[in-house]
Structure formats: structure tokens, C-alpha cells
Amino acid sequence: MENNIRDLKYWFTPEGGDEYELILNKYYEKLKTKTTQVEVIHKSGFEIWKMKNYPDEGLYTFLTKGLSSYILGNLESGYIRREQAITVDSKYRDLKIDVILDFISQEQLENREPFETDEIISLKGNETITPIINETNLDFLFFAGAVWLDDEQQGFFGPINTNISEVLLITDTEREIINLSIDSFIAKCQDGIIDILDLERS
């Protein structure tokens, strides 16, 4: 979609600057006022919210709710403290993005350890995920910079201090670009060379 709807700087502000907060405020305000059509998909131990036209017209966002409250394996580390979101163009609204989110969430619950910011994982070879990604040209997930919620936004997710990590589906070529230079990947997205909302890109 034109200009990717959201400027890529929203995804790549690791310390959670003002630009990122603009998007988080959109998340929070729409949820708080219930102006967004939400389908709640119940998973084992948490929920995934499928939100229409969210945070902008023509987009669907899939967001976990409840993952952050689980305790890590090392009790000194406290809680997972992370929710995850994947945003797609509305034409992919029937793609089972919730299954992908559930898969990576269950991995973290099983290992009691969150994926690291800027970490890339492969979706290849998993019998649950393979049929889904076969409908796209995307084989990897990239965990973009997470941002902490402020006190008001935090109230929606519960008492545990939480951040939200934007998860991007990427191609093998994009994985190689990120491994060489994340700045190069960002530049290609911002210049429109890579449209991260197009799940059929090659």
C-alpha cells in the first residue's frame, strides 16, 4: 500500500521515542474507546486480538494479550513482559496470522524466555506453519524494536510492566540484508523498495 501506511520509523525506534508512541497511542485509544472491531481468538493461556482497520484504515493487526504476565524460567528475571503484534494489509485478513503468533508465543512459554529484539527465526519445516507461509513468499520472522508502554497504556494489559514487539514477516533475501546491515533494510523499506505489508513480495 502507498507509503506502507505507517512510516517505518515507528518500527525502528528501539528506545521508544515520540514517533513510536504515536502508534502506541493509536493502539490504546482505539482499544479504550472500543471504536475498533475486535475478534478475540482464545489460545492456550492468552488471547490474540484480531483488529480490523487498525491502527489505520485498510490494515489488520493481530496482537497478543496475556503473554507478558508469564514468569520466565529464571525467576530472578521476572516475567516475559512482552506482547507481540503482526500487522498486515486487509487482503491478507484471512491468512492464519493468529496461528503464527500462537506458535512463537508457545515457543516462548515452553522455553520461558522471550525472543530478543532484532532476532530472526525461521518458519520453515514446521508442519503447522508451513501451509500458512506457503501462501506467501515469506519464510522468516523478524522481531523489530520493542517499546515499553506508559502507565495509562499499561492499564489495558494488566499489572505487569510490558512492552510490545512488532513482528515482521520477511523473505530470505531480507534476512540476509538485515544480517549485513539493519540500517540498509530500514532504508529500503522507507524508500519503498521493500513493502513490508505485501506478504507476496519476493
Residue 88, domain extent: 2-190
pLDDT tens figures, 183-196: 888 888 878 888 88
Q: What is the residue type of 20?
A: Y
pLDDT tens figures, 93-119: 899 999 999 998 888 888 777 788 788
Q: Is residue 201 part of a domain?
A: no
Q: Is residue 179 part of a domain?
A: yes
Q: Is residue 199 part of a domain?
A: no
- In the block, which residue shows the cell 502506541? 24
Q: Which residue has the higher pLDDT, 75 or 141?
A: 141
Q: How many CB atoms lie within 10 A of CB 25?
A: 14
Q: Is residue 200 part of a domain?
A: no
Kindly give the residue spans of alpha helices, DSSP state H, lying in 58-171: 97-111, 130-133, 151-157
Number of domains, the chain: 1
Q: How many CB atoms lie within 10 A of CB 199?
A: 19
pTM exceeding the 0.85 threshold for the entire prediction: no
Q: Is residue 202 part of a domain?
A: no
* pLDDT exceeds cutoff 70 at 18: no
Q: What mean pLDDT value characterizes the chain?
A: 75
State how far the alpha carbon of 19 is from the alpha carbons of 3, 7, 23, 26, 199, in Å. Answer: 16, 9, 7, 12, 25
